[in-house]
Structure 1
Amino acid sequence: MSKLEVKPENHKIFIFKKIFEFESAKQQAEKKKLNAFGMFAKFNPLKRPTDETVLLKEQILRYEPFWFVASKRILNYTCAVTYPIPVHNPHAVSLSIKNDPSQNIYPVARQNDKTKVDMPVIEHCHRVVEFSNYFDGLKREVKTQVFTDYIKKFGHNEVEQVELENVLQPILSVDSLTSIVRSELQNQVINASNIEEDSEEITSLYLYFRPVYAFEYHWSTADKVGVIEVDGLTGEIIENGNWFKNTFDQTFTRDNLIELSAELASTVVPGAGTVVKIANKVITQ
């Protein structure tokens, strides 16, 4: 049985400051608005969106979450193994260990030109298994490099609370994230006769919020809506985007983040399993 430790000082919240302003993002979105309804609609010869039939319905600056988590698993264990030890004296028929109170005798085995003694020993081992990664808070397939580039290239400030409007709640909750982490840590094969210590710790649990503009367009002749997203940091345009609605209804704080994982420290789980009970009080799936 093992516990997953999450220390309060390892929890942090960061907010990125937008690079692109609303008007600049809107101009970029207007250029791509006809693509908001998919490629099939754009190239449909019978009915396709036009500048006259596609009009801006809503616009918003929202803050999207992504996670960074770092963790480690510390193991102290023993292995009962047999070491083949070469014997160089051609006349030796057995060996004993000097000052060994058990006075065990180990016979010398000879095969062809090789001579050895099979010595049973106990290996005392210490191992640290580490895992870290970035995760999109909205459960989209986003490459890790995208998030590391945000960190390297754009300014972000650590805050105690998020006082912005339109802050999206992570769909990837703390308990789901922790299950992923534990699965990675537990997935390592440990060849042990006896495990003396098996402890796990999340060394970093960081929640980042980045600015994204979303522009919702209405295609009147088809009575459809589509969304163009503009990254508030890079200016990258995402066609056929999403209009997320799961925003926080109250200020989200670092204390909330600590509360979400506080129960982890007392959660006992099987050594090869995943979390069976994690706090999930503010961020929900």
Structure 2
Amino acid sequence: MQLTARDFRGQVNPDWCPGCGDFGVLNSLQRACAEMGLQPHEILTVSGIGCSSNLPGYFNSYGMHTLHGRALAVATGAKLANHDLTVFVTGGDGDGYGIGGNHFAHSARRNIDLTYVVMNNQIYGLTTGQVSPTSSYGMSTKSTPHGSVEAPVNPITSSIMNGATYVARGYSGDVRHLTELIKGAVNHKGFALIDVFSPCVTFNRDNTHDFFKDRIVKLEDEEHDFSDWKLACEKALQWGDTIYTGLFFQKESVSLVEAEPVLSKEGPLAHRPLGLSEDQAQRIIQRMM
């Protein structure tokens, strides 16, 4: 049965601030799943901690709200156990690029078949406005009243260097474009990152919707060669009057799901019979006698 975006609405209404960019991300996920013909029982959405990490509660699928920064680890286990699941990981820049930075790097390196959607508001919103890993140099926040003295993380270049095979950037104010990026990520076999500019309208007065609307240029409009990782990094590092969104880099490579020898031979755990066969039980009994 073909579903609509409305069918992917959860039973709980979002409690985000009015105007929060995360609404656009939720809308895009719902549209993408409907347009791809997915069913809620075929999807798992995993999150960590933060405003954006509440998303699984607002999205009609299987969901897991996990520990701070550990969503990718949990999602990896779920995907390896059941290859048939479409697995989304949702979170923010603090959750994913800060405390979860180690899992981010190694998930990309392993090329696990996940779609990681990061709502990047360039600040810690849930804890009311502290500097985050993606906050701009010199940005004044509650924890950096004299301006941040740290260079921000660039998620696009970091993920490419760590081995991600689908790397994109979206903007939550452009739902149609973001929907297409999500559909491309789901169809891709391997680790897919979509870093989404998702403005925090309450605590980040620098990186606003108007800020991005005045600067964003889509890579699709420039016929970007997404097979060229050097060009992708060059475009990703541009930050000023022009900020690029779109698919930066994509390549085909064996995913961890395909490469893991036990699972590739015997199939995912979800498809195996539970319990012991009679022969296995008898062998265990014989060892104990």
TM-score range (shorter-chain normalised) is under 0.3
Q: TM-score, normalised by structure 1?
A: 0.23
The higher relative CO (CA closer than 8 Å, separation ≥ 6) is in: 1
Task: Specify which structure has the higher proportion of helix.
Answer: 2
- Answer with 1 or 2: which has the greater Rg: 1
Question: If the length of structure 2 is used for normalisation, what is the TM-score?
Answer: 0.23
The structure with the greater share of residues assigned to strand is: 1
